[in-house]
Structure 1
């Protein structure tokens, strides 16, 4: 639903068409002409063109009869599209902004004072929030749409597009792509991005269907939706094709696919040729296209039959457009700046509200690209005029440097950075020197003027285009950072996860974060942001920064709203709180239940071994928490190969430090056999001595992860898990119950320590992380109540403790805490594996005479070993 707030006139009958305006976008007005054909296929149901037209007309009525500036938070959702089409059909200019960027919405609202803001409220419903009953601006009659220029999201500089621009470009694209009313195109790109918007325009123009989705092509559910809707068209930027490679696109069965389109940056010629050949073999066509926001979307396309033979070309002008080459000093007669003319060229730029009154100020578009026209009539881009940098007196073209490195097998982004050339490249450790040498030899620059950073993933904007600002930032020496500015969130992610390629659109899970670094990350973020949402690990740095903005903007000494709410009531309670509580304790926080259980659990495990007390059962709770964390950090939306790689990395982070430490114990003591060092004690049945089974927990965890990594590598199983996120762990839990009751006789000499017996707890923790309803959580609780009893013979306290701990994990995501307690819990939880590893070599020597000292020394040594392992891993990049 789209609601209206404010004092706008009451709407007419819901389906009465709005009064015609002198200027509007025809395809937005003529939706009803396509009748009952499918307009939108969404995860929530389908919508016909007639139904879409009714909703658009009703929303247009709600916008009122006065022409006003509408700021729209763009999203690939029905409500956003309806509001957008309603404004276009009724002649209201739209300022389209990314709906997932609060900072952009805020900055452009401040800069342009829109009359109406269309965006979702906190409860998910959409609203048209009135700010001015009549327009506060003078709006030119031709003005239809305002878009941010490429790379300047949030900047007040906008592209002014007319009704004719939108209609003409949609008609041109539909013509050369051959779109008809049987087509179904997926919204693989953001609506606020001109390329993604052009897909919507051109298909609505022809009465074709849109598969309206916000899913990534790396998500298995996207392909299920695409096949179910008989998808015919895919659009992508170069990064989209990286994702297609990762998910095995070349092996997919897509019987209805007709065309794949590419724009938004240069795709390497060999990849263009490869995809063109793949299309020929599979029955679809590849269209490589060239465009800019200033040309509404498209200016050129490469005919599909030439893609394999001429993959380096951008092709020919789109229908209705034309190119000319303007000579540029320093280049030969066959190379010039590409200048485009056509009905889709923008009206001009806007840099303030006053510019909204302007008509056409631009007649042709100077693209800034250097190009040549080959003998076959195809145009080729050879460089970028505006990206030239002058470094030590030499004129350097970063795009040429990128091409040079590409010829040597290196994918890189390059940017001028004052007195140096910044190069971010894909590659391995130690390749910086080779890349620097290649660039120095070709460009004539000294090595000191070339800053190279090798990354596992290149920084990109939300649209998938290169983020050259991030390239300059990532390659800048640490001492160049402004002092006293505090630790930036992106630097924090890069430091803790050892991922220098962290960008604004990275998240904890996308950067390969796991349970071993989750604790430190969550506590550091809570310290920076105040209060963390429970799903912070899946949110991008950009989204987390938006949460931090109110804190950053708060005057010194002013408390957050959360802090004020957390304080006791006024009066005696407040006075007592202030007098008896240290200042650093007064801000109340929450602590994730999993972290609290890990922290308490490791203390109780060690303390029980030392015999300070006798409270057992937490090792089995930690098995459940391991499954819970596996689901959260390993089973992400990443491609199958990326998922499997992350699991193997986690295995290494557990197994390598464990084997190193246990090997030392085998060599220096008589308590362990070599099988312990290899984590094979369970499989080789080494005796029944207490210390032979000391590391059963580590062995079980490694065994589970190895088997799951192998299973996840199977495409069919990977797809099943993505589709049945709760059902799969439920099935595995049922399989685990066969081992729980040892129906196959696989249990070891100590059944409750056998991996086959306790696997059902791992699967239950996995299912707990996926449980989304009360019914699902109740089911897991019932399983616990029926299956835990009997596991520990004659130990009722241990049985109750395991049940209570896992019930907390299922039902209670966070617990109340205070700053110092959270910090202590964080240290214990993040070091829990290492405390568990090392305490067996500490407490036997102290427990008889100094039990409390034995407990403390075990914890201190474990924390120390955790620090050593973490620093070693970051130093040599082996984990």
Structure 2
């Protein structure tokens, strides 16, 4: 694309790109692009580019275009042997840099049409070698049209919520670079705190999403977020239900941003139609009107009513044509119009509405899936099948030997979808109509009657058992956080998931279960050093051992309880302050408080009845504040008391909508503000004048706040800042130097090292100890006392009792849950 570098340079010092660690002006971006173009100088070649939403990909994409090459973007991390075999790219650019496959010397070039600049996949990740050929004219025409109807400004800043290998994601990049607007490059999901921190920090003005993106936005409480710079949202990549279109349009009207529903295809370089934001509420069922420069007509189709027919698009963004092999890349433009395969009608108001399909494609998860190609791919794997779309999933009927789970995973793998998006049904004979045509309606009915596939039930059963839920409530679209998981259930579930999945994704607690199913690795022999354990789990296990051992006088190593308090703050930041609606946040906080307070109060009540070791003020977890100060139990339960009342206070704070919105907008800043409050209490800057015992409890809040800030830190400087505050706060806090070093080392690991590798046996034992830390803490005073004069057996017995009691309570909760399910089923059957 001649003049691309000059075009970028014309925007001068305006912000072009922002990432988590860098900001580039247009002049900076132009210089980097020019450097890559120089590296790639030579004869015109086909460049395969593995894409991430990062600066490396963007610069190399633009650099390859600036050097006059044809670019084929492909998603990183997935094999594409058919693409390689069919098109034999001359250059491959991936995370390792530029790899020349063929010489750039004159005379070595293979023909590429002079208008051709871009090749895009038409069918998601089905492995089809069929590509769309796009010219520079196509790309620029579509970018100009999008910029016009969205009224893009050079002050706009769009976040990259969609892959660069996808036409919708590329169209966001093209249109914004065209007008001198900014891009916020990130591969993080909208369910991640880091995404919203980055979006707010760089004053993001727009988000683009496919229907699945809006499912995620609903889950993270988008409606309650404070996004002062947001100007508009766009939606494409499949049909969004009219009621959801209307809901988002109304939300936009209340919140001061616009909502655009768009319609398009890769074959049209992205966009063909848009629904003006002012019509989204009144016409949520329409795709809208043609983009500037484009037009529609409706061709009659047999079997459809008058006025309805196939939607045909004309415009300068219509592709040059398809490519089936390398020779097609030398061909010129073969099309003047695009037959969409959609059945549509035009309303009296001039807006177009899609009412059906004339061809065998479906759009899911932002991918256009060729069902015929999917059937062909399955035949290549020895499976004769019929595939059809059924709402938000693909239904597959097949005959033959493979199991349903195997076919479901194979189809999902071919289509590039999570296994939860595919339902496979084995039949004796594929269903046919009376005229012997494939009966796809029968396939849909078979899939709807089929219960959830077995391979999903095991993983969802793990969630149901660990969280004591009815398995029917554990659906593929929900995550650990959605299901009400907290720091106590997190340990048990993380250990079981690591065994079930073969690995443990770092953000598993926020990922839908269906996504976790899609990451499951084949069962294989594990190496001795093969397990991943979260640092927070390891610290909980180590801390409870130190606490019990020191109290039983097996050794004297204090500081474990302070490490536990930091871990509690870390888990508070991860599980209680998630991007969920405010009511759900408060519900999770109440649940977490109950999981700690109820067992504590029940155990204290039992000990009050059987012994004279506790005081009534212990029963309300306030002995440190209410006294008596001289009681032998004044220090026994300080950790539980401090933690419960810290959580109660924070539940009150974040029940307040203003505080909730502030935390969503600036999670790290809010955490640091509370850490500053903790430091003020630690140095008694506020002069509260509390008694020694009460002041002791208040002093410990800063440990909790430090863990909270660690959970919200995403950039290196943020981790460094929390570490520095930790070092300052610990200086002079303890009398023993070793105690200071121990707590600093433990919490520094928490800040900088999220997970560690260890032997599988160690991971399992640590998981048991960490999961049982609360019950061990409550009961160990009574257990080790039974072994007077024999501290080692006392410590071991305390740990074993804590583990057994935790397992017993878990079994009891599961039994109660199953009884409730049985009662519900009996009631429903009457």
**TM-score, with structure 2 as normaliser:** 0.73
**Is 2:774 the partner of 1:833?**
yes
- SS, match of residue 299 in structure 1: strand
Give the Cα–Cα distance (whole angstroms) in 2 for the partners of residues 543 and 286 of structure 1.
Answer: 28
Which residue does 1:455 correspond to in 2? Answer: none
Post-superposition offset of 1:141: 4.2
Post-superposition offset of 1:69: 2.0
User: How do 1:471-550 and structure 2 match up within 5 A?
Assistant: 472=423, 477=451, 480-481=454-455, 500-501=474-475, 514-520=486-492, 523=495
**Is 2:803 the partner of 1:866?**
no
Contact map agreement 1:494 1:502 (CA 8 A) in 2: no
2:690 to 740, 746, 750: 746
Contact map agreement 1:27 1:204 (CA 8 A) in 2: no
2:681 to 696, 719, 736: 736
Contact map agreement 1:651 1:706 (CA 8 A) in 2: yes
Contact map agreement 1:736 1:763 (CA 8 A) in 2: no
Give the Cα–Cα distance (whole angstroms) in 2 for the partners of residues 858 and 363 of structure 1.
Answer: 79
Give the Cα–Cα distance (whole angstroms) in 1 for the partners of residues 604 and 552 of structure 2.
Answer: 19
Which residue does 1:470 correspond to in 2? Answer: 421
1:698 to 627, 636, 640: 640
Closer/same/farther in 2, CA of residues 748 and 371 from structure 1, 3 Å limit:
farther
**Is 2:593 the partner of 1:651?**
yes
- SS, match of residue 65 in structure 1: coil
Give the Cα–Cα distance (whole angstroms) in 2 for the partners of residues 242 and 53 of structure 1.
Answer: 37
Post-superposition offset of 1:745: 3.9
Contact map agreement 2:668 2:709 (CA 8 A) in 1: no
Give the Cα–Cα distance (whole angstroms) in 1 for the partners of residues 545 and 117 of structure 2.
Answer: 65
- SS, match of residue 700 in structure 2: helix
User: How do 1:570-609 and structure 2 match up within 5 A?
Assistant: 586-587=528-529, 594-609=536-551
Give the Cα–Cα distance (whole angstroms) in 1 for the partners of residues 93 and 776 of structure 2.
Answer: 53
Closer/same/farther in 2, CA of residues 588 and 479 from structure 1, 3 Å limit:
closer
2:280 to 307, 311, 315: 307
Closer/same/farther in 2, CA of residues 76 and 165 from structure 1, 3 Å limit:
same
1:809 to 730, 737, 747: 747
Which residue does 1:786 correspond to in 2? Answer: 732
Give the Cα–Cα distance (whole angstroms) in 1 for the partners of residues 306 and 293 of structure 2.
Answer: 26
Give the Cα–Cα distance (whole angstroms) in 2 for the partners of residues 236 and 325 of structure 1.
Answer: 28
Which residue does 1:847 correspond to in 2? Answer: 787
Contact map agreement 1:73 1:105 (CA 8 A) in 2: no
In terms of mean alpha carbon deviation, does 243-252 or 170-179 score higher?
243-252
**Is 2:765 the partner of 1:821?**
no
Closer/same/farther in 2, CA of residues 85 and 836 from structure 1, 3 Å limit:
same
Give the Cα–Cα distance (whole angstroms) in 2 for the partners of residues 274 and 492 of structure 1.
Answer: 35
Closer/same/farther in 2, CA of residues 210 and 612 from structure 1, 3 Å limit:
closer
* Residues 368-415 of structure 1, C-alpha deviations (whole Å, 9 max, x = no match): 4343222222212234564799xxxxx99977xx6xxxxxxxxxx465
Give the Cα–Cα distance (whole angstroms) in 2 for the partners of residues 39 and 720 of structure 1.
Answer: 22
**RMSD (Å), alpha carbons:** 5.0
Post-superposition offset of 1:734: 0.8
Which residue does 2:94 correspond to in 1? Answer: 119
Give the Cα–Cα distance (whole angstroms) in 2 for the partners of residues 471 and 686 of structure 1.
Answer: 63
**Is 2:83 the partner of 1:96?**
no
- SS, match of residue 786 in structure 1: coil
Give the Cα–Cα distance (whole angstroms) in 2 for the partners of residues 854 and 251 of structure 1.
Answer: 51
Contact map agreement 1:171 1:202 (CA 8 A) in 2: yes
Closer/same/farther in 2, CA of residues 531 and 184 from structure 1, 3 Å limit:
closer
Give the Cα–Cα distance (whole angstroms) in 2 for the partners of residues 857 and 70 of structure 1.
Answer: 65
**Is 2:344 the partner of 1:344?**
no
**Is 2:342 the partner of 1:369?**
yes
Which residue does 1:128 correspond to in 2? Answer: 98
1:42 to 14, 18, 22: 18
Contact map agreement 1:662 1:677 (CA 8 A) in 2: yes
Post-superposition offset of 1:788: 1.6
In terms of mean alpha carbon deviation, does 521-530 or 611-620 score higher?
521-530
Closer/same/farther in 2, CA of residues 157 and 510 from structure 1, 3 Å limit:
farther
Which residue does 1:618 correspond to in 2? Answer: 560
Give the Cα–Cα distance (whole angstroms) in 1 for the partners of residues 635 and 705 of structure 2.
Answer: 22
Post-superposition offset of 1:737: 0.3
Post-superposition offset of 1:731: 0.5
Contact map agreement 1:218 1:638 (CA 8 A) in 2: no
Give the Cα–Cα distance (whole angstroms) in 1 for the partners of residues 260 and 242 of structure 2.
Answer: 13
**Is 2:669 the partner of 1:724?**
yes
Post-superposition offset of 1:599: 2.3
**Is 2:134 the partner of 1:193?**
no
- SS, match of residue 340 in structure 1: strand
Give the Cα–Cα distance (whole angstroms) in 1 for the partners of residues 342 and 699 of structure 2.
Answer: 65
Which residue does 1:261 correspond to in 2? Answer: 234
- SS, match of residue 103 in structure 1: coil
Post-superposition offset of 1:703: 1.5
In terms of mean alpha carbon deviation, does 609-618 or 703-712 score higher?
609-618
Contact map agreement 1:720 1:728 (CA 8 A) in 2: no
1:416 to 392, 395, 400: 395
- SS, match of residue 292 in structure 2: coil
Which residue does 1:83 correspond to in 2? Answer: 60
In terms of mean alpha carbon deviation, does 82-91 or 32-41 score higher?
32-41
In terms of mean alpha carbon deviation, does 599-608 or 830-839 score higher?
599-608
* Residues 155-180 of structure 1, C-alpha deviations (whole Å, 9 max, x = no match): 65543333332223223323333445
Contact map agreement 1:624 1:806 (CA 8 A) in 2: no
* Residues 526-569 of structure 1, C-alpha deviations (whole Å, 9 max, x = no match): 667888798887899999999997xx69xx88x9xxx7xxxxxx
Which residue does 2:407 correspond to in 1? Answer: none
Contact map agreement 1:289 1:301 (CA 8 A) in 2: yes
**TM-score, with structure 1 as normaliser:** 0.70
Contact map agreement 2:323 2:329 (CA 8 A) in 1: yes
Give the Cα–Cα distance (whole angstroms) in 2 for the partners of residues 178 and 837 of structure 1.
Answer: 62
Give the Cα–Cα distance (whole angstroms) in 2 for the partners of residues 373 and 352 of structure 1.
Answer: 38
Closer/same/farther in 2, CA of residues 851 and 719 from structure 1, 3 Å limit:
closer
- SS, match of residue 270 in structure 2: coil
Closer/same/farther in 2, CA of residues 153 and 872 from structure 1, 3 Å limit:
farther
Post-superposition offset of 1:297: 0.8
Post-superposition offset of 1:120: 3.1
Give the Cα–Cα distance (whole angstroms) in 1 for the partners of residues 347 and 680 of structure 2.
Answer: 65
Give the Cα–Cα distance (whole angstroms) in 2 for the partners of residues 106 and 783 of structure 1.
Answer: 56
Which residue does 1:164 correspond to in 2? Answer: 137
Which residue does 1:441 correspond to in 2? Answer: none
* Residues 468-516 of structure 1, C-alpha deviations (whole Å, 9 max, x = no match): 8536489975764499xxx88x98778767794457xx98778876543
User: How do 1:643-682 and structure 2 match up within 5 A?
Assistant: 646-663=588-605, 665=607, 672=614, 676-682=618-624
- SS, match of residue 40 in structure 1: strand
In terms of mean alpha carbon deviation, does 290-299 or 190-199 score higher?
190-199
Give the Cα–Cα distance (whole angstroms) in 2 for the partners of residues 628 and 281 of structure 1.
Answer: 35
Contact map agreement 1:593 1:808 (CA 8 A) in 2: no
Give the Cα–Cα distance (whole angstroms) in 1 for the partners of residues 420 and 571 of structure 2.
Answer: 34
**Is 2:739 the partner of 1:762?**
no
In terms of mean alpha carbon deviation, does 766-775 or 713-722 score higher?
766-775
Which residue does 1:3 correspond to in 2? Answer: none
1:55 to 19, 26, 32: 32
Post-superposition offset of 1:115: 2.5
State the aligned residue count: 739
Q: Which structure has the higher relative contact order (CA within 8 Å, separation 6+)?
A: 2
**Is 2:150 the partner of 1:177?**
yes
Post-superposition offset of 1:718: 0.9
Give the Cα–Cα distance (whole angstroms) in 1 for the partners of residues 531 and 622 of structure 2.
Answer: 42
Give the Cα–Cα distance (whole angstroms) in 2 for the partners of residues 251 and 782 of structure 1.
Answer: 34
* Residues 665-720 of structure 1, C-alpha deviations (whole Å, 9 max, x = no match): 55666655666455455555478544576443222212222222333451464157
- SS, match of residue 787 in structure 2: coil
